[in-house]
Amino acid sequence: MKFVATAIGVLVLILGLGWLFQGNDFFMYKVFAPKYEGVRREVFENTKSYNQAAIQELQNMQFQYVQAGDTQKATLADIILRRAADYNMDDPKVPSDLRSFVAGLKRERTSVR
């Protein structure tokens, strides 16, 4: 009888410790996950592949804008400005023609509205 009570006590203790550690993991995740993800995002945005892809995408959209008709330019300008807002256009890797193109679109949009 004492053995069964001890076994049940050990089982309850193991389950209680498991629950305690699981709660601790949840607390640690809740506290540190946003900071961890922020660092991961910052590291990702500083990778060579991300920067090259972002610049290439903006250059492709610039080419499409130049080729587009007047009715399409407004829509493309909105898309380009949204994408450029998520990217650091002051980065030295951004070609000066692309930087001045985006700045021109911003000036054009702010003067229209």
**pLDDT tens-place string over residues 8-55:** 888 888 887 777 777 777 777 777 888 889 999 999 988 999 999 999
What single DSSP character describes residue 86?
T
Mean pLDDT of the chain: 87
Rounded distance, CA 31 to CA 51, Å?
30
Structure token digits, residue 91: 């980065």
Cβ neighbour number for residue 52 with a 10 Å cutoff: 11
pLDDT (mean) for 93-106: 92
Greater model confidence, 22 or 96: 96
Please say whether the dihedral angle defined by the alpha carbons of residues 86, 91, 94 and 95, taken in this order, is positive or negative: positive
Task: Phi first, then psi: give them for residue 55, nearest 5 degrees.
Answer: -65, -45
**pLDDT band for position 82 (50/70/90)?**
very high
Q: Would you place residue 86 in the very low, low, confident or very high pLDDT band (cuts 50, 70, 90)?
A: confident
pLDDT of residue 112: 63
Phi, psi of 106, deg, nearest 5: -60, -45
Give me the residue spans of the domains in the chain: 1-46, 49-112
- Region 75-98 average pLDDT: 90
Q: Average pLDDT for residues 75-99, to the nearest whole number?
A: 90
